[in-house]
Amino acid sequence: MDGATAKRRLIWIRDRAFFAAAMLFPFWLAGQIARDSSWFTGLCFYIPSAFLVAAYLSFCLIFATGKQRHKALLAFIISLPPLVFVGFVENRFLQSSSPPASANALRLVHWNVGGRLGRPGVVQALVDHQADLYVFSEIGAEKRIQALTETLGQPYQSAVFGNLAVVGKGRVRPNGWILDRDGVRAQSVVWEYAGQSLTVLVVDLPSSVFVARAPILKEIMNIIEREQPDLVVGDFNAPRRSIALSNLPAGYQHAYDTVGTGAGYTWPTPVPMYSLDQCIFSPRITPIEYDLVWSLKSDHCRQVFDFSLP
């Protein structure tokens, strides 16, 4: 193959790749409008805005370098809507106010560890957070939770239920499964510490795109409305802007939407593009600060939520 033929082939591949990327735009737009109101629009909703921005701006640069100005302009124009969503809808890059000081602040850390709790440095990273309550998804071997609890020492206790676990100061008492079917899990846990008692709903939902999220999320919202937990946390495997997650029961709020700042994507590392892990709190909770901690030790970011109680 001579140089001219190879160049033509690369141009052909580049143009077809741009056409394929451009064809995703109307589906992405339909997903952003209808979100997960149906299974199909849910699939469109899961086309990551950040991926489209990166793809279109890359093509814009390639076309501009090749002096194909019309194609470069087209790539730039179609990059603008997903860019707006990344910058102003899906993420909060400007913090409205400084976190309030609190002498009785509590810290919750949630992490989908992907069965990697035994990796070097993972336990130390968790200890460094000095959290009062740890919630884990996909723990792998139960003995890893026991080892972490022993490392944390007194007064930590742990409770393991399936692939989920809670480790906290004071007393941790599971209330049993509220939901446990077809990969849909919700466990109620009572956490008693420093004279306070909180109910935590630990949620773990299926990751398969072939499972419609809307009915499951609506059921979770009904449980929250009925059970009135203080905290709801877990790997929802559904974006924060899902219809049900955008219409929380009265008084409930997302920790990220209230006191979070910066990129709100939690999966997959090292380049997160989806906000799948959620932390929701009741009116009883006063939010202080919410952070997402990026790590290569799992494919999910850690959620760190500081809060206080009356």
For the domain 106-308, what is the CATH code?
3.60.10.10
Give the pLDDT score at 98.
61
Neighbours of 171 (CB within 10 A): 13
Q: Mean pLDDT in runs of 10 for the chain (310 residues)?
A: 81 95 98 97 98 98 94 98 97 74 87 93 95 97 95 96 97 96 96 96 96 96 98 98 98 97 96 98 97 95 96
Give the pLDDT score at 94.
81
Give the pLDDT score at 101.
64
For residue 214, what are its two tokens?
A: 């809307």
> How far apart (Å, rounded) are the C-alpha atoms in residues 223 and 179?
9
Sequence ranges of the domains in the chain: 3-89, 106-308
**What strand order describes the sheet that includes 286-293?**
156-161, 164-169, 133-137, 106-112, 302-308, 286-293
143 touches 151 (CB < 8 A): no
Give the pLDDT score at 246.
97
Give the pLDDT score at 189.
98
> How far apart (Å, rounded) are the C-alpha atoms in residues 221 and 225?
6
For residue 165, what are its two tokens?
A: 């676990």
Give the pLDDT score at 100.
66
Q: What is the pTM of this model?
A: 0.94
Give the pLDDT score at 183.
93
Q: 2: helix, coil or strand?
A: coil
Give the pLDDT score at 5.
85
